[in-house]
Structure 1
Amino acid sequence: MQASSLLQLALMGILVAILPLSMVWMSADVNKFRKLVWVAVFLTFDLIVFGGFTRLTDSGLGCPDWPGCYGMANPFLAHEQIAAAEAAMPTGPVTVVKAWIEMIHRYLAMGIGVIIMALLFTSIVQWRKTRVQAFKPGIPLALFVFVCIQGAFGAWTVTLKLQPVIVTIHLLLGMGLLALLTWLGGREDYLMQPPAPAGDNAALRRIRVLAILAAVVITAQIALGGWVSTNYATLACDEFPLCDGQVVPPMDFEHGFHLWRELGKTAAGHYLPFSALVAIHWVHRNFAIVVVAVLGLLVWRAWRQPYLARHARLLALVLFVQLLTGIATVYLDFPLAIAVMHNAGAALLVLLATMLNYRVKYQLEVNRAKSAAAPAASAVL
């Protein structure tokens, strides 16, 4: 790819980031760093949803090279090559529409990369000046490393022709980026306005264990869901709750869950048998029972604590909607809008589980600080 095209792509990423950066800079909010963090959370959530749309519309190879499109910075400049590819194969993978979907996804990703670099730069400069904990650069540095790794997997997604394990890891990294940004936002909220001591520490510790377990099972279910999507196994079971008329249909776990292989192929290069797709879908569907059990218990315990009740209600609502969209995807023969909603629901579960985790962690810290201060105050008196 020519240097001029790379420069144009870099400028596009800066242009995408300018609007949110300008809005934060011109806002009346005194704590602009905190505001920028939550803007980054919002945009990362949007990117994950649009990434799901890109995957579900088969637009991942809309531009078959990376980072540009046929070596150009945008599909306008590559129109001749795209038109020729579309004429040869009208349904794709390369069409004008799919090329634009893929490049818009890349532009958004580059814009978020610029915003994360702005967060890192601001935190380093302010930390050196003030040593204020809100600007401690550890998490922003981790975010920068994370987004670089995510960019590498984005490139491999294209160059390795949508290999399922690469696409699934790309999805998980996107969710991890959202979680890390949300955790940083939680830190900024806590430092700006620490919560008052509240609740029983024993109950909080039990909730924290459940919250960590919830994060683990959500991650596992997203990985399984990504594996379903990247292997095009969504309709391998076209009824619910049975699968092909059976509770346990014939399944090929060996080929279905062999990680390193081409899309639609076994490790030996043969076409993937349908029973392998059934296995992929069946495992994702049934692991949802584990997710509901763990999150249901977490919601029940957190709901009983006044300072966690709001988070618990939101988590319960999103979990319920997520179950509905998952079932509707099967019943309604994979409508695009509902499939995108299902992807968005997974991102919301990650965001809410992360928020609940940091809320419980910081509440325990506040309670411990109060407990430690009480004997010291008594000694003084």
Structure 2
Amino acid sequence: MDSNSFSYESSPAKLNMAIRLSSLGIVFTFIVILVGVWTRLVDAGLGCPDWPGCYGALVVPNAERASDFAPHIPLDPFKAWVEMVHRYLASSLGLLAIVLVVLAWKNRHLRNYPVGVSVLLLLVICLQGAFGALTVTLKLWPQVVTLHLLGGFTVLAIFFWLRCRLGVCQRQPVTRSSLPRIWWLAIALLTLQVALGGWTSSNYAGIACTGFPTCNNEWWPSYMDFNEGFHITQEVGPNYLYGQLHAGARTAIHYTHRIGALAVGIALLMLWHYGHTKQPSIRGITQLMLGIYALQITLGIVLVLFSLPLSVALMHTAGAAVLMLCLLRTGWRLSIAQVSYSPATYRKVSHA
């Protein structure tokens, strides 16, 4: 069997491996996001004062070695291990992306293979690594922490889109449809809401509003400082652990996050109506999204009333990620109206 024949015969196996790895990547990224949020919630973001190691070591050292490396930063073994576990998992995700790029190169001769998406995934994960380093070196600067969270959701979205593209590789799309404006509005508002959630968390504004549906016993709090709350050129240098903003700024951030949740709900209702009246193929998934949204609102209320229980905060983040995946799946169904399921025919690499 010559090399050309081998490439031809092995392509289906390589394609199936890429499909399985992209599916694994979705699940693994979901876990990495939650571990990152857990790291944040237990105040372990600075559990290791350096990067990529921890007190100059690849694993958490003992107190004596840590003291020699950073005498003024006492070692907290629990927080250090939480931070390092997050780094180990994120590094493993990068290795997975490298394997997918290698497979993309080997499968580049296949029709519709998403080589560009595979490369983009690796680049975004590398950028995420840079944000991880800046999170530590800039001492939890809220801008970087928020971008790091958005980066995690971006990696999740790219893994999902890669899996969708691989699923139709070697199949010829019969009809393509442009995405409706309401879908773009919904995805934009959800992305903004995720960013607001990260900004709320990184500025420790989760319980700046007490009570629900009012905020500090007011429908429109009289003491809100939007200028300071959304002053994105905050000074770089202070330790932002536990936040630096005053109460009025944190209240403004929290209240804006509540308004954002309302805007997302309206957009999802509009998308559901669009599916119900014009696109029956997305009726089921839009109904599921409304159910997840209702659960998200419930979890948000519980977070406020019970002062940010850790388990509920993790579920709230998980719900946002699932909502994002459902919205992406809706977009995929709307973008490809029909796919031919004729047997795949693999093309040999041209050596002209």
CA deviations over 1:319-357 (Å, ceiling 9, x no partner): 111111111100111101001111111111111111111
CA distance 1:230–1:135, shift in 2 (3 Å): same
1:64 match: 49
2:156 match: 178
1:31 match: 16
Among candidates 147, 152, 170, match of residue 130 of structure 2 = 152
1:46 match: 31
SS in 2 for 1:135: coil
Among candidates 253, 256, 266, match of residue 293 of structure 1 = 266
| Superposition deviation, residue 248 in structure 1 | 1.2
Among candidates 248, 257, 275, match of residue 284 of structure 1 = 257
Q: Which runs of 5+ in 2 are unaligned?
A: 1-12, 341-352
Identity %, equivalent residues:
38
2:194 match: 222
Cα distance in structure 1, aligned partners of 2:77 and 2:68: 10
Q: Does 1:255 align with 2:231?
A: no
CA distance 1:166–1:303, shift in 2 (3 Å): same
1:122 match: 103
How many aligned residue pairs are there?
Answer: 324
8 Å CA contact 2:140–2:239 kept in 1: the answer is no
TM-score, normalised relative to structure 1: 0.78
8 Å CA contact 1:165–1:227 kept in 2: the answer is yes
| Superposition deviation, residue 260 in structure 1 | 2.6
8 Å CA contact 2:56–2:69 kept in 1: the answer is no
1:108 match: 89
Among candidates 308, 327, 335, match of residue 334 of structure 1 = 308
| Superposition deviation, residue 85 in structure 1 | 11
SS in 1 for 2:169: helix
CA distance 1:111–1:80, shift in 2 (3 Å): same
1:22 match: none
CA deviations over 1:9-65 (Å, ceiling 9, x no partner): xxxxxxxxxxxxxxxxxxx99722111111101100111111111111111011111
CA distance 1:88–1:164, shift in 2 (3 Å): same
CA distance 1:262–1:55, shift in 2 (3 Å): farther
TM-score, normalised relative to structure 2: 0.84
CA deviations over 1:168-226 (Å, ceiling 9, x no partner): 000001111111111111112233677887xxx9xx75x63222211100000011110
Among candidates 74, 92, 99, match of residue 80 of structure 2 = 99
8 Å CA contact 1:70–1:78 kept in 2: the answer is no
SS in 2 for 1:54: helix
8 Å CA contact 2:139–2:237 kept in 1: the answer is no
Q: Which structure features the higher share of helix residues?
A: 1
8 Å CA contact 1:264–1:272 kept in 2: the answer is no
Among candidates 51, 64, 67, match of residue 80 of structure 1 = 64
SS in 2 for 1:59: coil
- What residue identity is the alignment partner of 2:21? L
- What residue identity is the alignment partner of 2:119? L
CA deviations over 1:252-279 (Å, ceiling 9, x no partner): 1111111132589799xx9522101100
1:351 match: 325
8 Å CA contact 1:37–1:181 kept in 2: the answer is yes
| Superposition deviation, residue 68 in structure 1 | 0.8
CA deviations over 1:119-140 (Å, ceiling 9, x no partner): 001101221xxx2135331001
Cα distance in structure 2, aligned partners of 1:331 and 1:362: 43
Bigger mean CA offset, 170-179 vs 256-265 = 256-265
CA distance 1:29–1:139, shift in 2 (3 Å): closer
CA deviations over 1:291-312 (Å, ceiling 9, x no partner): 0000111123225544223322
Cα distance in structure 1, aligned partners of 2:100 and 2:314: 29
SS in 2 for 1:133: coil
- The RMSD of aligned alpha carbons is 3.0
SS in 1 for 2:180: helix
Cα distance in structure 2, aligned partners of 1:73 and 1:79: 15
SS in 2 for 1:63: coil
CA distance 1:311–1:189, shift in 2 (3 Å): farther
